[in-house]
Amino acid sequence: MATERRHILAGLAAGGVIMAGLGVSRIGIGAAPASAKGKRFPISRSDAEWKKRLTPMQYYVLRQEGTERAFTSRLNKEKRSGTFLCAGCNHPVFRSADKYDSGTGWPSFTRAVSANIGTSTDYKIGVPRTEVHCSRCGGHLGHVFNDGPRPTGKRWCINGAALRFRPA
């Protein structure tokens, strides 16, 4: 019985180490996005300040690198001419001229306003992905993939909760 218990505890410990290596254990409420660790951004606020300024979903996505459920953002169907801003700091990050329907359920773009975006490698699901964040506040926006349409071949898959739309 003691040997069986020891094996169970050893298995749980090994699983915890594996999950930590994959980034699964990064549940810390209020933790800065991994992409922002060690980086300084022009706009910096405490967790309490971010929570006051953002809705719970915006906070989850922008500050905790969360992902909203597919097909839930009203911005997914936004067709007007204008600019998509970071919901954390109103920095212009995408233009409506570059938006397209990727069929994924998230607002998708062929390119970003490149000077206003930062990227980092994200291993959160065990495989490398390119994480996208705002260059002004460090807020997590989504990911960029190499399966988009011409002319760029990129699919900037962005959480609608991370954006605000400003009509032209």
89 is a catalytic site residue: no
Q: How many CA atoms lie within 13 A of 146 on its CB side?
A: 3
Tokens of residue 50, six digits: 């971010």
- Gap between the Cα atoms of 32 and 51, Å rounded: 12
Burial 117-138 (b: 16+ CB within 10 A, else e): bbebebebeeeebebbbbbbbb
- Gap between the Cα atoms of 93 and 31, Å rounded: 23
Specify the long-range contacts of residues 151-155, CB closer than 8 Å, at least 24 apart.
151/110, 152/110, 152/111, 154/110, 154/111, 155/102, 155/104, 155/108, 155/109, 155/110
Tokens of residue 97, six digits: 């001229």
Catalytic residue among 89, 134, 137, 157: 157
Residues carrying an active site annotation: 157
